[in-house]
Structure 1
């Protein structure tokens, strides 16, 4: 899902991957185990690419082959965004329990778990009749 919406961080998130994958459309990766953590994030596969640390990639952007390899269907990085409670984000894409976001105002980008954010909706003001 692609969108452009404002979010507020309701729970901090610290990236556990200091060396994220940086993959281009057409790159070949080796596909490993499906993520099976307690968070229940579906369809993330541990992938490896030459010269990079292994990292998780969403299954939707992998063209998987019988030999255990896959071709990237689009550019992708698994860079996570470290965020603090109260920070404002601009969401750009939701995928498998995560949001690709831009932190306001510094413009840093990365993935943030959906459980750590909420949509930032303006308060409804009461109207006098």
Structure 2
């Protein structure tokens, strides 16, 4: 199919996120600013490339899976966490975590 551009769009993410089957993602917030763009999630690859990914290409793992992080402080719906092995630290959305 061919499409004609009727309105200009400039990407905020010029380095698009690229994944292969089996790659793990850190899944962040769901996009909810535009009803026409349902089911997009802001994700990060293991190489730290970030971008929006459609829900349909994500294989959602069920059950109690994931790494255990140490929460240090919580502000505005985010928790500053530390990985116990790598000591890597960063903000994680509280909605992505459950208390262990």
TM-score, length of structure 2 as denominator length: 0.56
Matched, 1:24 2:9: no
Matched, 1:47 2:28: no
Equivalents in 2 of 1:52, 1:30: separation in Å? 9
Q: Which structure 1 residue ranges, 4+ long, deviate > 4 Å from structure 2?
A: none
Deviation, 1:45, is: 0.8
Describe how 1:50-69 pairs up with structure 2 within 5 A.
Answer: 50-66=46-62, 67=65
Deviations 1:28-83 (A, max 9, x none): 111111111135410001111112332111111111124369xxxxxxxxxxxxxx
Which has the higher relative contact order, 1 or 2, with Cα contacts under 8 A spaced 6 or more apart?
1
Answer whether contact 1:30 1:49 (CA < 8 A) is retained. yes
Equivalents in 2 of 1:50, 1:25: separation in Å? 13
Equivalents in 2 of 1:24, 1:45: separation in Å? 17
Secondary structure of 1:16's aligned partner: coil
Equivalents in 2 of 1:52, 1:17: separation in Å? 13
Over the residues paired in the alignment, what is the CA RMSD in angstroms? 2.0
Instruction: State the number of aligned residues.
Output: 65
Deviation, 1:14, is: 0.9
